[in-house]
Amino acid sequence: VKDFEYAAAKTVDEAVALLASKGDRAKVLAGGTDILVQLRETNREADLVVDVKKIAELTRYEFSPTAGLRLGASVPCYKIYEDAALLQAYSALCDSARIIGGWQIQSRASIGGNLCNSSPAADSIPALIALDAKAHLAGPGGKRVVAVADFCTGPGKNVLQKGELLTALEFAAPQKGDGSHYLRFIPRDEMDIAVVGCGAWVRLDPSGKTIVAARIALGAVAPKPLFAAEASAFLAGKPATPETFAQAGELAKKIATPISDMRGPAEYRTHLVGVLTVRALTKAVERAGQGK
Ligand SMILES: Cc1cc2nc3c(=O)[nH]c(=O)nc-3n(C[C@H](O)[C@H](O)[C@H](O)COP(=O)(O)OP(=O)(O)OC[C@H]3O[C@@H](n4cnc5c(N)ncnc54)[C@H](O)[C@@H]3O)c2cc1C
């Protein structure tokens, strides 16, 4: 590892000032499960690493059934899926937090770090997009809010400007009839990078039989995680049946532009989009029916 300075910021303003002072040569450190590996493998260098885990606002979360969830950017994964209230309200988020690495990784890795690392195959991002999460950013120019669906711009790239950091992720309050699920396909049972990932969120009407609104998001089939807009819009007003889910899967396949690599050829990944969309919707609807 090339030597770098380390600074632990205590406030968001301090972190912003530290990051702005070094421009591209400063990196944020949350759980470190991506950035430390990258610095060691020297595909990235830094003069200054700014630890944001000592900033109270970033390491806590607040949830109320009426106000929704404000998730500090550095909250580790295990805290999310161990909370029964979050498990019920934001199941897809918990599904993704539970499969990011093993439990050692989950005890440090944050959803904020997963998002800011902006891997096309990152597990939390399709879940965040399906849940329509909003990213709160702070930087030298002030604060702004960006929909997670618009956050990533390419592999490892996102809308963060120099000196800017993610402070929190915001989720709307769940309503009766909501359900969500995230799943990925990997050739092993655990600890692998998604060949394809799919997040789905649905809102059912009081009968539990008709979809009022839905959001589908895909990972690992394009240079960045995708919101499947046409497939999502198609589902509104449709009966929650296997036929409907299969049609949504076909629409989702239309936006997939995957690469072929050692994990699988492009045609296989596109096929998987249809399969995973059906499975994600099926589980999301089942959870919506159970009030989960
Ligand atoms: C063994 C192993 C298994 C893994 N398995 C998976 C997996 O199954 N699925 C998966 O998706 N990922 C996996 N990962 C990757 C990694 O663990 C996740 O991406 C994790 O969520 C990153 O979070 P972190 O807090 O450790 O981020 P860090 O490594 O601290 O940061 C990641 C990136 O985000 C930036 N960053 C962090 N926080 C902020 C912020 N608040 N504002 C601005 N920028 C910020 C950092 O500068 C860095 O560029 C794995 C990694 C390892 C080592």
pLDDT digits (tens, 9 = 90+) for 105-159: 999 999 999 999 999 999 999 999 999 999 999 999 999 999 999 999 999 999 9
Rounded mean pLDDT of the chain? Answer: 96
C-beta separation of 132 from 90 below 8 A: no
Quote the tokens at residue 256.
Answer: 């997939």
For residue 177, CA distances in Å to 95, 97, 130, 202, 250 come to 19, 23, 15, 8, 25
Query: Could you identify the atom of ligand 1 that is nearest to the CA of residue 27?
Result: 47
Residue 260 backbone dihedrals phi, psi, to 5 degrees: -100, 130
CA 38 from chain center: how many Å? 20
Query: Could you identify the atom of ligand 1 that is nearest to the CA of residue 137?
Result: 42
Cα(109) to ligand 1 centroid in Å equals 6
Write the residue with the smallest CA distance to atom 9 of ligand 1. 100
Mutate to test the pocket of ligand 1, among 1, 14, 28 (most ligand atoms within 8 A of CB): 28
Work out the angle at residue 96's Cα, subtended by the Cα atoms of residues 93 and 102, and round it to the nearest 5 degrees: 135
Mutate to test the pocket of ligand 1, among 105, 123, 193 (most ligand atoms within 8 A of CB): 105
pLDDT at 247 over 90: yes
pLDDT digits (tens, 9 = 90+) for 23-73: 889 999 999 999 999 999 866 789 999 999 999 999 999 999 999 999 999
Cα(115) to ligand 1 centroid in Å equals 8
Region 282-290 average pLDDT: 95
- Quickly state the pLDDT bin for 290 (edges 50, 70, 90): confident
pLDDT at 166 over 80: yes
**Which H or E run includes 235?**
helix 229-235
d(CA 45, CA 33): 16
Neighbouring residues of 166: CB distance < 8 A, sequence distance ≥ 6 = 73, 112, 115, 116, 135, 136, 137, 160
pLDDT at 292 over 70: no
d(CA 59, CA 76): 8
